Amino acid sequence: MTLAAPLQRFVDDELARMPMLVEQVLRQTVDALRQAPQGTLSAAERMQRFEFAQSLQAQSRQFAQAFVAAFAQRAHGADTAAAVKTAPARGLALLDESTHSADIEIARVATQIDGVAEWELRELQTFTSAMCGLPYVSVSTNPLHPEAFAHALWQAGCTLGSTQDAALLLRHASMPLAEALKKAFASACTRLEAQGVQPSLYRTAVPPRAESTRASLLTGLLESASPPHAAPSQRPAAALDAQTRGLLQDLFDAIAQSSQMHPALRALTASLHASALELAAHDPQLLESAGHPLWTLLDRFAYQSATHPDAADPQSRAWVGYATELVATLQRAPLQGAELYRDCVAKLDAYSAAQFNAQLLQAAGDIDALARNAPVSIAMDLGTMDTVPADLLLAAAADAPDATKDPDADIDKAAAAWLAEQQPGAWYRMFLRGRWGVTRLLWCSDARTRWLFASPHPQRNDAFEHATLLRLRAEKLIRPLVERAVVVRAAESVRRRLADKRTTR
C-alpha cells in the first residue's frame, strides 16, 4: 500500500509520538496487573500476575520498540505483502484453538478501541480522506485503525513470552490503550485542522430496506429532476427524453464512483451505458425497479469483485473474461430487452456454479481426509492444556448440563442456529490470523461436525471443528458476505445531488 504524500507525513509524525503513548499504556497496565482484586484470585495467580508485571516493566523499552515496529508494518501494509509472498504450499491447514484464541483477543481489543474512540476515529477519517484527495470520507484511508493497534499489541506481547502472557496483557492493556488512543486521535485532528487540512464530508447513509421498498427506490427520480411545481404530464416528450438520458448518465457515474468493482468490471459497466439508453426507450421498468435484470447484472459485477478481492486471481480473471463475452453478445442484439439481461445473469450464475464445482474437485483430497478423520483430528482436549484460558473454560461450560445458567448460553444458541442454516457455496468475511479476509464454505460433514473453507490463499484450504466455528460466530468473527443492490446506492446519491441543486437555486 502506497500512501499519499500528505498522509505519509502524518503517519510518520504519529509514529514518532507513539513511544510516549506506549509508555503511558504500559504504566497503567502494570498498575492494573498489580492491583488485581484479592478475592477473585488465588495466591499463586496473584504472584504470577505480579511477576508478569515486573517482567513487563523490565522489558518496557523492547516492548515499545516491538509495538511501534509492528504497527508501522500494519500501517504501511508491509505485513500483507509479506503474507502474499510467503503463501504456503497447497495443502489442508488444520487450525488449532490457539490460532482462534489469538484472533479473538485481537478482535476484542479492536472492538474496545472502536467503541471508546468512536467519534474521534470518525473525525480523524475525515482528515485522512482529505489528505488522500477525496471529497467524501473513505474508512480505508485511515492507517490508524483499531485492528492495526490491536495486532501490534499482540505482536509486542508475544515478545515477552508465551501466548498466554500475551493474552493476559491484552485483557489488561486494552482499556488503557483505547483511552490513550481516544486522546491521541483528538489531538491529531486538532493539529491537522491547525495545519489547514479541510476535512472531507460523510455521505448520507443508506438505511436497510425491505425488498419491496428497494424495488421502488428508482421511482420518482424523473420527478426529482423536474423543475419545481412542474408535473410530469406537463413536460414535453423531448425534455423527458433528455432528463432520462441525464439521469441514466448520473446513475452510471454514481455506480462507478461508489462501487468497489475491479477495473475491468467497472469498464464493462461503463460499456453498458449505451445499451441502457436504448433499453430505457421502450422499457419503463428500468427506471422504476432496482430488480430490473440490467441492474441485477451490475450487482453480480460488484459481488464478484467483493468475493474475489484479488483481481489477478485466475478464477476471477476467467469469470471476467466470460462476462465480457456475454456482454459483447448482448450488445450485438438488434433490440435490447430485459430478457437478454435476464439470460445473461442466468449464464453468469451457471458459470459461477461450475467454478464452485471445480473448487470442490480440487479440494476432493482434503474433503476425503476430513471425512475419514485423517490425517489428524483437529479437535483439542482442553484437559490436556497446561493453562486453559478463562474464555475456553466458558466455551466448554456451554456444553455442560447446566449451560442454561451461563449468561452466554443465548449467544451460543443463536450461533448454533445460524451455523445450522449455512450451506456450501456461501461466501463470508472471517477474521483469521489477525486480519479480515474473504472465504467460501466448500464442504461440511453430514453431522456438521467438520467444515472446510477455501482460504484467502489459493493454495490452501482451512478446516474447522463445529465448536470452533460456534465460537467465531459468537464473537462476530465470521459474517455472511451478501450481495448489495449497487443501483440503490447510486440512486440515493443522485437524489441527494438533485436535492442539493434545488436548495442552492
Q: Which three cell numbers stand for residue 278?
A: 436504448
The alpha carbon of 277 is separated from its chain's Cα centroid by a whole number of angstroms, namely 35
Length of the chain: 505
The alpha carbon of 503 is separated from its chain's Cα centroid by a whole number of angstroms, namely 36
The alpha carbon of 399 is separated from its chain's Cα centroid by a whole number of angstroms, namely 31
**Residue 240: partners with Cβ closer than 8 Å, 6 or more residues away:** 222, 232
**Residue 328: partners with Cβ closer than 8 Å, 6 or more residues away:** none
**Residue 343: partners with Cβ closer than 8 Å, 6 or more residues away:** none
Sketch the domain layout of the chain as residue ranges: 5-90+98-194, 211-362+485-503, 366-480
What pLDDT, on a 0 to 100 scale, did the predictor assign at position 97?
57
Residue 401 one-letter amino acid: P
What pLDDT, on a 0 to 100 scale, did the predictor assign at position 406?
56
The three-class DSSP label of residue 261 is: coil
Give the Å distances, CA to CA, from 462 to 53, 217, 313: 37, 41, 18
What pLDDT, on a 0 to 100 scale, did the predictor assign at position 382?
31
What are residue 489's phi and psi, to 5 degrees? Answer: -65, -40
DSSP string, 122-191: HHHHHHHHHHTT-SB--GGG-SS-HHHHHHHHHHHHHTTS-HHHHHHHHHHHHHHHHHHHHHHHHHHHHH
Strand 435-444, strand 478-480: pairing:
unpaired
Q: Which residues of 340-371 are buried (b: 16+ CB within 10 A; e: fewer)?
A: bbeebbeebeeebeeebeebbeebeebbebbe
- Contact of 419 with 434, CB cutoff 8 Å: no
Give the Å distances, CA to CA, from 127 to 15, 122, 151, 368: 17, 9, 24, 52
Check residue 478 and report its DSSP letter: E
Say how many CA atoms lie within 13 Å of 2 toward its Cβ. 1
Residue 287 one-letter amino acid: L
Q: Which three cell numbers stand for residue 428?
A: 463470508
What's the pTM? 0.68
Measure the CA–CA gap between 296 and 305, rounded to whole angstroms.
14
Q: At what angle do helices 97-116 and 118-131 cross, to 10 degrees?
A: 90
What pLDDT, on a 0 to 100 scale, did the predictor assign at position 4?
82
DSSP string, 360-372: HHHTHHHHHHHHT
Measure the CA–CA gap between 338 and 348, rounded to whole angstroms.
16
Measure the CA–CA gap between 282 and 382, rounded to whole angstroms.
67
What pLDDT, on a 0 to 100 scale, did the predictor assign at position 404?
47
Measure the CA–CA gap between 312 and 317, rounded to whole angstroms.
6
Measure the CA–CA gap between 67 and 154, rounded to whole angstroms.
8
The residue ranges of the chain whose pLDDT is under 70 are 1-2, 36-39, 77-100, 202-241, 258-259, 374-408, 456-459, 500-505
The three-class DSSP label of residue 442 is: strand
